[in-house]
Structure 1
Amino acid sequence: MNCSSLLSDINNLPDDILVEIFFRMSYKSTVKCKCVCKRWLKLISIPYFLKQFVSRQHSLSNAIFTFISPCQLMLTFPPPDLDSNPQAHKAPFSPDQMLIKGNVCGYSNGLFLYYNNRSTSGRGYFVYDPLTKVCTHIAPFRNFSAPRPAHSWSRLACLDNFSMEVFFSHIGIWRQIVVRCIKGFTFAPHWKLGLAHKGNLYFMGTKSVFVIDHRFVVSYTIDYPEDVAAMNIVRSGYLGCSGGTLKIADINNDNFRVWELIQIENDTTPKIFYRTWKLVHKTNLSTHLPTKFCANYFKRVGGFHPYDGDIVYLHSYADGVFVANLRTNKFEHIPGHENLDISPFQLELPLLPLIPSADN
């Protein structure tokens, strides 16, 4: 039987059977299959396939633990390469091989923002690309006569309007922007709890999440999930992106819950949507984890897997890192990371990049 006949026979299979075959192939072989024909490219590129492929073929502890300071680790998620030695992905870099020798204060689209002093006031900021290892200094902003910048506020004050100094990288200049919040907003005490997602900026507050769109025109707040103590979710929880959606999680005593942000159409006003949290996972940690970890007041959610929404990392400084597959209720300890902290930022590399194929 020649190759064309074999391809014709396999294409007679329905999509679900063909996808099951792809699930059982190695990562490199699956990538090559994207170039066979348009149908295969489409099947392998859909979000459902990407999520399921990672769920079935990734080991739980596939993250690389990279030092960004002598006592702080960062979760790094490379594309899966099942043909390589899996043991190589378990050893962290040493503190003298830190990724960034500075204070990381932000991450987006593969780039890190860091500074060389906590009181820089806009001076001493750098953008670092870990792939090219290129570091770019951001010119300091000039002093404005308007109100003081965001980082000089009292974080316990409820604000209905405030000013922000924003650097626009595409034109290389700073601009001062006044942001308004109708309901009022109080920033969370932890200065790192914020992220960029689909062009918007999200900040955790003492009672809600504050959102600013990428044009800095629209801003609004999203209440935390119902039946959740807001300060508890700030202390032990995590706001992040997983599987292309925004998720939030918290630990209340031994009860661990994960919510996903969804849009629901208004019943009375069609085509008008409101945002709410949908509970997607709930479990009791005492049935899966050691008593010592559960009794630790400082245990918290360390991060989400960027591609598989069912995988979550848990952490405490004394006990180290645990990883959980909430779909299968499988929990594992990742040894060797005790007495270290975990950065709230995660380095995410593309999974199965959508490389254009030939017109065959």
Structure 2
Amino acid sequence: MHINNLPDNLLIEILKRLPCQVVLRSESVCKRWLSLISDPFFVRCFIHHHRGSIDHSLPFTLVHQFYYWHHHITETASRKIHLVSEHPILQSRDLLLDFLPCFQHPDPWPIRIVASHGDLVVCHDNKLYSSQQSMYYVCNLLTRQWCALPPILGRHVEDDMAIGLVTYDGENHLLPLFQYKVVRILKVGTCSNDLIVETFSSDTGEWNESLLSCPQSIQRFWQFRTSAVTLNNALHWIINGNNGETIVVFDPFRSINDQCWLIDPPLELKFEMAHVCLGICRDRLRVSTIKGVHPNRMLKVWELQDYGKANWTLKYRICLKEMVFVSDCEFDMLEFSTNLVLSFHPNDEDVVYLRCHNHIMKCHVRKGTLEVVSKCLGDPTFVIRTLTVFPLLHPCWPSSVYCHGKQNLRSLES
């Protein structure tokens, strides 16, 4: 019997047992398969079937976009995106954002990724940088599904603004990460504790503005770390406050009086958070930095053990000169001053990603090994201001991008 002669229920039983990337590509077989696979009933069947095998092995993708504010940098360089992915579809993809309608334009400002959570990202159309509005897109890089958010009038400059993305289950639980919120936070004044919060909600399709009082005055959000780390539906940023650097937390789901609070960093980092990486590993907040001078640079990783009491534990302390390269490398990473921690692996607590000059390194702290996983030789000279990093964790079925009840069609490569 030909497979197309099978009834829908038997075809679903076959398809739900296949790997996700195979099922997604099968949408292009025919209209019937597209309709079947796109149906929320199939998605629930697929997730239920694979739920027993889901552990801490979900594929991870690290997106690092070179970005610089000055006009003299060429469009090609400032558009550069570096990808380190465990997902087979993304591993074979050269261009990540060419599916967006604003990808091709003559303006030298590139599309910029500004936030991420789960397997979704928020992109900003920089061709509107000099205008009086900002245009954002919420995208799934794997399925190439996207949704254009309503433009925001005014206050569009990003050099001292924090932005974040929160994804969460909708009330009917038809699809994973059914709804999302995009949050922009702007200062009211240099000496004020008040912040302007602009929140877009996918269930209403609108932006809303509110005034938020921070527990301390914020001098600035770090320009190269303006994207948020999302944990427990709350957004976390490193800020420069009036009492030194700290971590500010904003929960868009709480009442207005309880939405914002602070977490003190490890005491050793209180006044030197500029080079610190803030991230998540196995649902715990982490910070890391490289301290010291050549040849005794030390990689240190702290983990927040008690979220309520800001109890940090030093997890790792390892000298970089004692680490062993597991791949050929034509340079000595210790001779460069631009060694920075980029990201943590969200599932593997022993893996940290570094950027050393124009290379992205996978550092396995327990094994003491370093591996070059991406070369960023297309970038101009690396500086801290280029540090835009977005970790993605791909669920067993990719998240759908919704906006006020409307779902955009996927465009998958065969």
Whole-angstrom distance in 1 between the partners of 2:202 and 2:120:
12
Q: Is the 8 A contact 1:192 1:344 kept in 2?
A: no
CA distance in 2, matches of 1:141, 1:352: 32
**Structure-1 residue corresponding to 2:252:** 214
2:317 to 282, 285, 288: 282
Q: Would you say 1:167 and 2:200 are equivalent positions?
A: yes
**Cα distance in 1 for residues equivalent to 2:131 and 2:238:** 23
Partners of 1:97 and 1:107 in 2: how far apart? 14
Q: How does 1:234-313 map to 2 (within 5 A)?
A: 234-235=274-275, 237-253=276-292, 254-263=297-306, 273-288=308-323, 292-313=332-353
Percent identity between the aligned chains?
18
- 1:75/1:342 contact within 8 Å kept: no
Q: CA deviation at 1:204?
A: 1.2
Report what 2:238 is aligned to.
204
Contact (CA 8 Å) 2:61, 2:84: kept in 1 or not?
yes
Whole-Å separation in 2 of the counterparts to 1:239 and 1:99: 30
TM, length-normalised to structure 1: 0.65
Paired with 1:141 and 1:90, the residues of 2 have a C-alpha distance of 34
Root-mean-square deviation (CA), in Å?
A: 3.9
Q: Partners in 1 of 2:123 and 2:86 — Cα distance?
A: 20
Matching residue of 2:354: 314
Change (3 A) 1:329 1:63: farther
Identify the residue that residue 370 of structure 2 maps to in structure 1.
331
CA distance 1:124–1:250, shift in 2 (3 Å): same
Q: 1:346 aligns with which of 382, 391, 394?
A: 391
CA contact (8 A) 1:300 1:316 kept: yes
Q: Counterparts of 1:352 and 1:278 in 2: how far apart (Å)?
A: 34
Larger relative contact order (C-alpha < 8 A, sep ≥ 6)?
2
Unaligned runs of 5+ in 2: 1-18, 20-50, 67-77, 104-110, 156-160, 162-183, 326-330, 380-385, 399-414
- Aligned AA (2:239): G
Q: Relative to structure 1, is the Cα distance of residues 238 and 121 closer, same or farther in structure 2, using a 3 angstrom cutoff?
A: farther
Assess, with a 3 A threshold, how the Cα gap between structure 1 residues 200 and 64 changes in structure 2: closer, same or farther.
closer
* 1:183-229 deviation per Cα after TM superposition (whole angstroms, max 9, x unaligned): 33332232534222221011111200110113253211111211125
The within-5 A match list for 1:12-51 is 50-51=55-56
Equivalent in the alignment of 1:228: 269
Is 1:179 matched with 2:220? no
Change (3 A) 1:120 1:295: farther
Deviations 1:104-126 (A, max 9, x none): 11112322111112456653111
CA distance in 2 between partners of 1:190 and 1:238 (Å): 11
Structure 1: gaps of 5 or more residues: 1-27, 29-40, 82-87, 265-272, 354-360
1:133 partner amino acid: R
